[in-house]
Amino acid sequence: MKNLKQIILTLVLASSSVSMAQTWETIGTAAFTTGDTQYGCMDVYNGTPYIAYKDVANGSKCTVMRYNGSNWVYVGSQAFTPGISREQSIAIDQLNGDVYVEYTDATINAIVVSKFNDNNGVWEPLGPNGIASSPSEFYQQIKIDNGDPYLVFGGYQATLKQYNPGTPTGTWTATPGPVISFAQAWYTRLAIDGTDKYVIYSDISEQGKASVVLATANSINAVGGVLGFTTGGIGYCDIAVDNGIPYISFQDSINGRRISVMKFNGTDWEYVGGAGISSGNVEHNRILFHNSIPYISYYDNGDGKLHLKKFNGTAWISVGPAVENGSVYLNDMAINDDHVFIAFKEGNSGGKMTVKKLDLNTVAGVATSVNNKLLVYPNPAQNELFIKIDNAKVNQIDIVDLSGKVIQIKNEFTSKLNISDLNKGIYFIKVYTENGISTQRFIKQ
C-alpha cells in the first residue's frame, strides 16, 4: 500500500507544471475610509497596519486608523488636528508600539508632531505646541530609531532634527546641525542605519539632481564626495540601507521620468538593474529590504497599475500581480512580519484608501504569464535535473523546499542542475523569465 501511495503521489506531482501565484490579500474591506484621502501614509507594527491621511470629507484634518483584526478603527478621534493638515507621515516605534504622526498644520504653515497616548486615547504634541519647523518647510518624514523620533524636511534647506524629551513637552534640535544642505531641497527622505542617518533630496543648487548625505553625531558628508551625482534631475524618491550600503529609488527625469534604482558601491553611485526600469513615468515610489533583497513599489503611468518588484541579482522581477482598480495612486509600502504591505487610494471609489498585503514566504511566487512551457525531467530525479522552457529569456532559477526556503539559486540559465546534495523529498523549481515566474514540483529520490 505504501508503494502504491508513493506511485500515485509521484504521478500527481510530476504530471504538470504548477503556477501557484502569490496573491494580494485585502486587509479588511477595500475603500474603507469615509471619503477622499490625500497624503496617505502607512507603517506596520507586529503585522498590524496603521495609516494616516488628510481626511477631505472631515474638514481636511488628519485622521489615523489601524486594523484591529476585524475592522479598521480610528486611533484617537477622527480628524483630530485643529485645522487642515497636509503632507503627513506616520512612524511606529518597533520596540514598544508607540505611534507618532507628523503633518503640516495649514493654520500656521509649520510641521507639527504628535504622539498617541494609549492611556487617555488622545494625541499629544511633541515640542512646544508640537511645532518642529519654521514656516514653509515641506517634504517631511518622521522615523523612529531606538525610541528616538527623527524628522527630516526640505524647503529652503534640508534639515534633520531629533526630539529631546523634557518638561513639559520637550524640544526639537537640529542634528548634527544646523542644516543638511545650504540650498533648496525637495523630496527629502531619511534612512537610519545604526548611528548613521542618510538623507536624499533633489538638490536645487545642482539642477535638481540627487544628493545623498551621511549625517553622523559630529559631521555631515556627501556620500561619494559629490553633491548632485545623478545625470539628470530627480522627482519623488526614497532611500534604504542594507549592511551599510545605501540604495535610492527615484523618478529619473533623463530617462523619461521612469523609476531608476542606484546604490553606492564604496566608490561611486551605480545603477541597479539598469536605468529607467518601469514601462512609463512614475510618481511616488518606495524601496525597502527583506532578507537583504531590495524591493521597490511604484505606480506606473504607462499601464495605470501599482507594481512590486525585487532585484534578483541580475534584473528587477515582478512580485505578485500588478494592482489595479481604475486609477490607483500609491501612498506607501511597508515590510513587516514577512509580508509586504501597500496602501493606495482608488479612483473608482472617490479616492478612498485600500491596504493590501502579500506573503513573501509563499513558495511558488507570481506567474504573470503561464504561457511558457516548463518541462522538468526526470521526475523523480536522483542526481541531475534537466530543464526546458519555451519562448522566454530566463533570468534566474531557484530550488525551493516545502517551507519556502531557497536551497539553490542560479543567476543564469542552465539546462542541467546538480541535485545530488539535496535530501530526499519534495521541492519546487522556480524559473524567473522576462514574462513572470513558472513553477513546477519535483521529487528528489
Domain CATH code at residue 416: 2.60.40.1930
Nearest CA among 325, 275, 322, 274 for reference residue 300: 322
Q: In terms of residue numbers, what domain contains 418?
A: 374-444
Phi-psi region of 410 (alpha: psi -120 to 50; beta: other; left: phi over 0): beta
Q: Give the highest mean pLDDT range of 76-90, 132-146, 424-438.
A: 76-90
Give the pTM. Answer: 0.79
Say yes or no to pLDDT of 436 above 60: yes
Distances (CA, A) of 115 to 88, 124, 143, 169, 213: 13, 5, 12, 11, 28
Region 28-53: mean pLDDT is 96
Per DSSP (E only), the strands in 338-415 are: 339-346, 352-359, 374-377, 384-389, 394-401, 406-410
- Helix (H), strand (E) counts: the chain: 1, 35
In this structure, what is the dihedral angle of CA atoms 292, 297, 300, 304, given to the nearest 10 degrees? 140
Mean pLDDT computed over every residue of the chain: 89
Scan for cell 501599482, then name that residue. Answer: 306
Say yes or no to pLDDT of 149 above 70: yes
Residues 397 and 353 in one domain: no
- The residues facing 90 across adjacent strands are 101
- The residues facing 96 across adjacent strands are none
Residues 431 and 351 in one domain: no
Say yes or no to pLDDT of 169 above 70: yes
d(CA 321, CA 435): 12
262 neighbors 269 (Cβ within 8 angstroms): yes
Nearest CA among 344, 431, 435 for reference residue 37: 344
Residues 279 and 130 in one domain: yes
- Percentage above 70 pLDDT, the chain: 92
Residues 78 and 219 in one domain: yes
**CATH number of the domain bearing residue 136:** 2.120.10.30
Residues 352 and 388 in one domain: no
Q: How many domains is the chain built from?
A: 2
- State the pLDDT at residue 63: 98
